[in-house]
Amino acid sequence: MNCPKCNAPKLYSLQNNYKKCASCYYKFSYTKYAIDYQILTHFCSNINALHSSKLLQLNYKTVSNKYSLFRKLIASYLQEKYHQTSAQNSDYEEFYYFTQRQHHQKKKSLYEAINIIGFYSHGFIYTLLMPPLVKSSLKEQDKNFEKYLSWHKIQSANAYTTPLNVFWAYLEQNLKKYKGVSCENFFYYLKECEFKYNFVLNKQIEILKKLYFI
């Protein structure tokens, strides 16, 4: 293998199965690197943490913590990428995400939904979480306001044919497998879906490998 930091081919063997790069002097454990790389590959391949822990014969908490770290690294990477290209956004659309439990309710309230704005530019999807809607003290005004939002969502002229509409369906389908995501962690799962929608598997592994190992 090459150095995970600078990709130089020449490595020295140290004690305890550690390696040292001859170019950048980066030290790392080959065993730990190999395990972490397998976990990373499983994450990008949509193998859940429980299944990955069984395949690798590792503690579930160990793998789950790695997955959480990967999501945070991805979120930071995508936020930076969005800020670099925000002036080039061509289409945008607002989306209200409802959980499966909320979908099965006879009456859904926009006040209970997670409000997301998506942007599409040069073949990439970017998402931003918006603050939750705040109810007023007047019920009738609340009711009318919800109707207004339902019929006047912020969207591009061709919302039902844009990649954003395809992404919303992809997001809902992928979040089903988690059997519920807390509001506190929703942002990171949203960014995971954004990452996996924008990049093919090999590119996902390449990007995440750089974010994690360097």
Provide the strand spans (E) within the chain.
11-13, 18-21, 27-29, 91-97, 114-121, 124-129
Average pLDDT over residues 63-79: 96
For residue 98, the model assigns a pLDDT of 82
Residue indicated by tokens 């730990």: 32
Where do the structural domains in the chain lie, given as residue ranges? 68-213
Residue indicated by tokens 């919303």: 168
pLDDT band at 146, cuts 50/70/90?
Answer: low
For residue 87, the model assigns a pLDDT of 64
Distances (CA, A) of 101 to 107, 177, 179, 182, 186: 11, 14, 10, 13, 16
pLDDT band at 156, cuts 50/70/90?
Answer: very low
CA distance 57 to 30: 18
Count Cβ neighbours within 10 Å for each residue of 165-196 and write b for 16 or more, e otherwise: bebbebbbeebeeeeebeeeebbbbbbbbbbb
For the segment 82-139, what is each residue's pLDDT rounded down to a tens digit? 888 766 666 788 888 887 677 666 666 677 788 899 998 888 999 999 887 776 655 5
Lowest mean pLDDT among 53-62, 67-76, 94-103: 94-103
pLDDT band at 160, cuts 50/70/90?
Answer: low
Average pLDDT over residues 44-71: 96
- DSSP states of 87-139: GG--EEEEEEE--HHHHTSSS--GGGSEEEEEEEETTEEEEEEPPPP---S-H
